[in-house]
Amino acid sequence: MTDTNTNRVLIFDTTMRDGEQSPGASMNLEEKLRLAEVLEEMGVDVIEAGFPIASNGDFEAVNEIAKVVKGSVVCGLARAALKDIDRAAEALKPAERMRIHTFLSTSPLHMKYKLQMEPEAVHDAVVDSVTHARTFTDDVEWSPEDGTRTEHDFLCRCVESAIKAGATTINIPDTVGYAIPEEFGALIRMLFDRVPNIDKARISTHCHNDLGLAVANSLAGVANGARQVECTINGLGERAGNAALEEIVMALRTRNDLMPYGTGIDTENITKASRLVANITGFTVQPNKAIVGANAFAHEAGIHQDGVLKHAGTYEIMTPESVGLNKSNLVMGKHSGRHAFREKLRELGFELGDNALNDAFRRFKDLADKKKDVFDEDIVALVDDELRADDRIKFVSLYVVAGSKGPQTAELELDIDGEVHATKSTGDGPVDATFNAIKELVPHEAKLQLYQVHAVTEGTDAQAEVTVRLEESGKTVNGQGADTDTLVASARAYVNALNKLMVKREKTALEALSA
Ligand code: KIV
Ligand code: ZN
């Protein structure tokens, strides 16, 4: 079953499951659906859409993604418990191709302290869980959590039994990011050497990045026979994150001379996926991050610029175009009509209803009046804002007095459940004044965890894109807002976060009622 002699490596994206487990990186249903669409378009083989037993929200996300995704296998995670597996199977039912991914810790440390189970009981649970999962689908993945710190004899025994019970993929997690490449590669090789039925399964890697080695470990796994890599966009994930999808895919592509393995990824979608994940989660990408950082293809030093102008290959080992990084497209100016605007939206992947289209077009005209050049990124930021028709709180207007003399004051109007409310507030600076005004109109206890501004494009007339993260009772939400005025963008982002918080509160209340 393992086609180590075919050199195709499956890409298993777990941005919406392991990535989302990273504190503060929560995504709502609409955001997950958008990401799933981008991952599918990109050619991701398996999308791990969530952990259905974890919450009703996770169940719903997996279920909705299972309904719409056709090009990728949709996967749901389950512990080694029958009720977990049943819930995953139920969520995945609508999928054209589904996978159940079940896992159990196998390291001495995890078995003794976390599971408080004897190895024999763990082994039996592996067999029972895989057997049960196979009653729903013939695509079952099993993972020995903390696999890299598991005793080899026990690991081989569990892997062999999992395959015998019907697992078609065996995934080896370096759960705590402890392994080094040579060691991880040798572990994968050891499984091929010692597990008699290993050829009946595909071997996968799942590496965390605590020592910054997740990508190197994954590639060592591939070099030793693994033919699936689990990874996330931008390396999102708990603690230091998971192996970054874009780095693995581009390393395999760029160094195909030494690593003759292929993926099915259309690499030109990488930048789009990276920006979407950064935007949704508020986890911005560091400028010097490989492949997707803002400086990844920038050449500052004169000597480098000179070289690149003479021959791009002097300092560029891959082209910006290969990861979908084109020069920003100049879209339209203030004379562009509604029809052209609708066409542009279609090209960017947005299909808006008439009302949303009218509102977006009005904001586009306002933007074109203020800003000399309007780029694709501007339109995306603006439409992201506009796709919030169901929000209970809507931004109406903001007037701010700022500067060194103080007091900084914000006059704000919000539409709350269809009625416009106004207030005036002061604060320690214009942002504080604006947020205080919002708090007066929408009293709440949520704590501001993150306030982040970045320019959508270049220039002083660029739109600001603001991310606000709020936390309430251990739950976090990220809100986004864009405008050429940073304070208006800030107010929009805060309002967006409050709307998400309200949806989350309602869902939590419903979950409590149905529990
Ligand atoms: O890191 C890990 O061990 C995991 C498993 C659930 C595969 O995420
Ligand atoms: Zn993990």
- Give the range among 48-57, 338-347, 426-435 with minimum mean pLDDT: 338-347
pLDDT per position as a tens digit, 270-296: 999 998 999 888 888 988 999 999 889
Q: Provide mean pLDDT across the span 147-168.
A: 98
Q: Which fold has domain 10-281?
A: TIM Barrel (3.20.20)
User: Does 102 sit in the ligand 1 pocket, CB within 6 Å?
Assistant: no
Q: Provide mean pLDDT across the span 385-403.
A: 86
User: Does 17 sit in the ligand 1 pocket, CB within 6 Å?
Assistant: no
Mean pLDDT estimate for the chain: 91
107 contacts: CB under 8 Å, gap ≥ 6: 145, 146, 147, 149, 150, 151
Is the pLDDT score of 2 beyond 50? no
148 contacts: CB under 8 Å, gap ≥ 6: 172, 173, 174, 175, 176, 178, 179, 183, 184, 187
Ligand found nearest the CA of 106: 1
User: Does 206 sit in the ligand 1 pocket, CB within 6 Å?
Assistant: yes
Give percent of the chain above pLDDT 70. 94
Domain boundaries, the chain: 10-281, 297-325, 338-386, 393-514
Is the pLDDT score of 210 beyond 50? yes
How far does residue 175's CA lie from ligand 1's centre (Å)?
A: 6
pLDDT at 60: 97
Q: Provide mean pLDDT across the span 354-374.
A: 84
User: Does 143 sit in the ligand 1 pocket, CB within 6 Å?
Assistant: yes
> What atom of ligand 1 comes closest to residue 171's alpha carbon?
7
Alpha helices of 49-141 — where are they, by DSSP H?
Answer: 56-68, 82-92, 108-109, 119-134
Locate 384 and state its tokens.
Answer: 């992201």
User: Does 173 sit in the ligand 1 pocket, CB within 6 Å?
Assistant: yes
From CA 309, how far away is CA 315, in angstroms rounded? 10
User: Does 184 sit in the ligand 1 pocket, CB within 6 Å?
Assistant: no
Q: Provide mean pLDDT across the span 452-458.
A: 81
- Give the range among 152-166, 307-321, 331-345 with minimum mean pLDDT: 331-345
Residues 149 and 176 sit within 8 Å (Cβ to Cβ): yes
> What atom of ligand 1 comes closest to residue 175's alpha carbon?
1
How far does residue 248's CA lie from ligand 2's centre (Å)?
A: 16
Helical (H) or strand (E) element with 347: helix 338-347
Amino acid at 247: E
Is the pLDDT score of 328 beyond 70? no
Neighbours of 391 (CB within 10 A): 16
Residues 197 and 219 sit within 8 Å (Cβ to Cβ): no
Is the pLDDT score of 1 beyond 50? no
User: Does 18 sit in the ligand 1 pocket, CB within 6 Å?
Assistant: yes
Ligand found nearest the CA of 178: 1
What pTM value is reported for the model?
A: 0.84
Ligand found nearest the CA of 104: 1
How far does residue 194's CA lie from ligand 1's centre (Å)?
A: 23
Best residue for ligand 1 mutational test, from 129, 208, 218, 242 (most atoms within 8 Å of Cβ): 208
Q: What is the dotted CATH code of the domain comprising 393-514?
A: 3.30.160.270
Q: How far is CA 366 from the centre of its chain?
A: 32
pLDDT at 513: 66
How far does residue 241's CA lie from ligand 2's centre (Å)?
A: 8
pLDDT at 515: 60
Which of the pair, 416 or 24, is modelled with greater confidence?
A: 416
460 burial (CB, 10 Å; 0-12 / 13-18 / 19+) is exposed
Ligand found nearest the CA of 173: 1
User: Does 103 sit in the ligand 1 pocket, CB within 6 Å?
Assistant: yes
Ligand found nearest the CA of 79: 1
Q: Provide mean pLDDT across the span 251-277.
A: 96
How far does residue 145's CA lie from ligand 1's centre (Å)?
A: 6
Q: Mapping DSSP to helix (H, G, I), strand (E, B) and coil, where does residue 19 land?
A: helix
Is the pLDDT score of 194 beyond 80? yes
User: Does 224 sit in the ligand 1 pocket, CB within 6 Å?
Assistant: no
